[in-house]
Amino acid sequence: MATRLLDRFTEVGLIDDGAFARAWVDSRMTGKGLAGRSLAIELRRKGIDDDLAREVLDAIEPDDEEAAARRVVRSKLRSVRRLEPEVQSRRLFGVLARKGYPPGVAVRIVREELAAAPVSAD
């Protein structure tokens, strides 16, 4: 009975793993600033098929992922502003690494954002 009910829900569009995966990725990338690697792990935990997850994640524009990383760094800049430059870089890099960004992308974005950030007056 349950299988028939689930099949019917899928048939009429009430259960749509693709729509769920796209909405989840959009929400977590925008809200939490997560990168594709972290999103893939989350989708797997949610029971999304690996092929479907790959398809959804491949649709992410590199510019969108980079913009998300920049938002993360900018939101954390204020809390590290008074620290030594090396400590600032290390902490910001760590934040991006924990969110799943590749090291090369994280280093580049942290450097660019630190260079562009206004210097605070102590």
CA distance 91 to 70: 14
| Model pLDDT, residue 12 | 75
pTM listed for this prediction: 0.81
Query: Structural domain boundaries of the chain?
Result: 2-60, 63-116
Per-block average pLDDT, block size 10, for the chain (122 residues)? Answer: 81 82 95 96 95 96 95 95 94 97 96 86 50
pLDDT in tens, 39-61: 999 999 999 999 999 999 999 99
- Residue 46 gets which letter from DSSP? T
Q: Give the number of other CB atoms < 10 A from CB of residue 121.
A: 4
Structure-block tokens of residue 119: 């210097």
